[in-house]
Amino acid sequence: MPTSVAAYAAQDNLSPLGPLTITRRDPEPKDVQIEILYCGVCHSDLHFARNEWGMTIYPIVPGHEILGRVTAVGSAVTRFTVGDTAAVGCLVDSCRECQSCKAGLEQYCDVGGSIFTYGAPDKYAPGEMTYGGYSTSITVTEDFVLSVAKTLDPAGAAPLLCAGITTYSPLRHWGAGPGKKVGIVGLGGLGHMGVKFSHAFGAETVVFTTSASKVADGLRLGADQVVVSRDAEAMQAQAGSFDLIINTVAASHDLDQFTNLLKREGTMVLVGAPEHAHPSPNVMSLIFRRRTIAGSLIGGLPETQEMLDFCATHDITCDVEVIRMDQINDAYERMLKSDVKYRFVIDMASLKA
């Protein structure tokens, strides 16, 4: 029998999030049931809650940075036992048969079969949508559950499931490391993780921020240099020097000021998804230096597990502010003002209280 659990949901694009009782399936043979301890708050949660991408089906229970404790496992589960620390990221299933899925790149499923943790058709409950981590428990097939070292701070580890992997994946794919110069645009929930990973990979790391007040924090997080992007002279001093730039800004802005910083054959990777499109870039800046503007999503399951293991080895977690569930609406407003260092995380014990 399905189990009723407490959650927080948006009922429409204008109302604040509030309590909702949802159901979770009892574990099938390959399922893992997780008591959610912490759930990170992603800007995507806000986009979905307010239907800013035009695809929300209500009610929506956001949350895809989920960390918790295993409370039950199906009879065919082999990698988890009751009491383990486990995590769920942005995906809870995929087609599993296409080339991308077989390559461990489920986020790029060739047939559109990626099933996201919330707001997607639920294959286990036809006609219903998936509900995310703003809830007290979740049941997920074992193949889409990740292991988390008990040595990592659980609240700080939760946002690794999106903010972490979203920056880790392009840094790994485009070869950040010793001898490479890497730029991180934006020092927010994604950007601060990009700095930590780029530094840990051994790359020369430069942060670009519009706020002079973030210079000291960028250096604290591991940047070799912090450039205020409104300073034209400071920007010109960086021209043509970057192998890779990870642009984390989730608002429409001029890309040319950053593509001009790339070396010949350098790449700028966009990982922020703005509500409105960026202005078209200057094509000549790309053509005459064989520069690339690319995009990157999250990581697949193998790479996400690799990232979590890397974080355990290097003691990397997100800088977080822990909130109660009933503070989520205020947190959304603060997030819009960049008033958080650097990720809100919900303590789900507050939803049970």
Strands 343-347 and 320-323: parallel
Residue 107 inside a domain? The answer is: yes
Same domain, 153 and 179: no
Give 351's DSSP letter.
H
Same domain, 36 and 172: no
What CATH number should be reported for the domain holding residue 158? 3.90.180.10
Strands 225-228 and 242-247: unpaired
Three-state SS at 292 = strand
Strands 146-147 and 181-185: unpaired
Phi, psi of 162 (to 5 degrees): -135, -60
Task: List the one residue out of 2, 133, 142 whose CA is nearest residue 81.
Answer: 142
| pLDDT tens-place string over residues 22-78 | 999 999 999 999 999 999 999 999 999 999 889 999 999 999 999 999 999 999 999
Residue 311 inside a domain? The answer is: no
Residue 171 inside a domain? The answer is: yes
Residue 303 inside a domain? The answer is: no
**pLDDT on residue 338:** 87
Strands 262-270 and 242-247: parallel
Same domain, 145 and 199: no
| pLDDT tens-place string over residues 150-207 | 999 999 999 999 999 999 999 999 999 999 999 999 999 999 999 999 999 999 999 9
Same domain, 10 and 130: yes
Same domain, 137 and 267: no
Task: List the one residue out of 172, 133, 156 whose CA is nearest residue 300.
Answer: 172
Q: How far apart are CA 20 and CA 60, in angstroms?
A: 10
Q: How many CB atoms sit inside 10 A of residue 26's CB?
A: 13
Q: Does residue 246 contact residue 182 with C-beta atoms inside 8 Å? A: yes
Q: Please say which residue of 255, 279, 295 terminates a domain.
A: 295
**pLDDT on residue 273:** 84
Confidence of residue 250 (pLDDT cuts 50, 70, 90): confident
Same domain, 14 and 84: yes
- Give the percent of the chain with pLDDT over 70: 100
**pLDDT on residue 274:** 82
**For residue 72, what are the domain limits?**
3-162+319-352
Mean of the pLDDT values across residues 253-265? Answer: 96
**pLDDT on residue 51:** 94
Tell me whether residue 134 is exposed, middle or buried, using C-beta atoms within 10 angstroms of its C-beta: 0 to 12, 13 to 18, 19 or more.
Answer: buried
Residue 277 inside a domain? The answer is: yes
Mean of the pLDDT values across residues 266-276? Answer: 91
Same domain, 133 and 49: yes
Q: How far apart are CA 59 and CA 13, in angstroms?
A: 10
Mean per-residue pLDDT of the chain: 96
**Residues 204-211: contacts with CB under 8 Å, at least 24 apart:** 204/180, 206/181, 206/182, 206/238, 206/242, 207/183, 208/183, 208/184, 208/258, 211/187, 211/338
**pLDDT on residue 276:** 84
pTM above 0.85, yes or no: yes
Same domain, 122 and 174: no
| pLDDT tens-place string over residues 297-319 | 999 999 999 999 999 999 999 99
Residue 338 inside a domain? The answer is: yes
Residue 185 inside a domain? The answer is: yes
Same domain, 179 and 151: no
Same domain, 128 and 250: no
Inform me whether the pLDDT recorded for 290 exceeds 70: yes
Mean of the pLDDT values across residues 258-279? Answer: 93
* Structure tokens, 245: 């730039």
| Side-chain half-sphere CA neighbours of 325 within 13 A | 26
**Number of independent structural domains in the chain:** 2
Q: How many CB atoms sit inside 10 A of residue 103's CB?
A: 12
Which residue bears the tokens 């690794």? 160
| pLDDT tens-place string over residues 321-345 | 999 999 999 999 999 998 999 999 9
In 322-350, which positions are buried (b, 16+ CB within 10 angstroms) versus exposed (e)? ebebebbeebbebbeeeebebbbbbbbee
Same domain, 154 and 201: no
Inform me whether the pLDDT recorded for 353 exceeds 80: no
| pLDDT tens-place string over residues 200-235 | 999 999 999 999 999 999 999 999 999 999 999 999
Same domain, 168 and 282: yes
Mean of the pLDDT values across residues 87-93? Answer: 97
What CATH number should be reported for the domain holding residue 218? 3.40.50.720
Residue 154 inside a domain? The answer is: yes
